[in-house]
Amino acid sequence: MSEAIQNLNKPKDAFEQLEEEEGMRQGFCHIRIQQRTGRKTITTVQGIATEYDLKKIV
């Protein structure tokens, strides 16, 4: 129990966990297609590196 209380006193970097998770997710690409009225659709692409041309991919 005293160890748990001691851990609360340590300063924590709020961005540390986000950087680790982002590094693990680096290989994922999400493509979402949303149907609108009739034949109209909206395509959303997320997670592709800036070195690729999104217009050619979609």
- Residue 4, pLDDT above cutoff 70: no
Q: How many helices (H) and strands (E) does the chain have?
A: 3, 2
pLDDT value at position 18?
52
Buried b (16+ CB within 10 A) or exposed e, 8-20: eeeeeeeeeeeee
- Residue 9, pLDDT above cutoff 70: no
pLDDT 10s digits, 19-40: 544 444 467 788 889 998 888 9
Q: Where are the domains of the chain?
A: 2-57
Q: Are 48 and 54 in contact (CB under 8 A)?
A: yes
Mean model confidence pLDDT for the chain: 71
- Residue 56, pLDDT above cutoff 60: yes
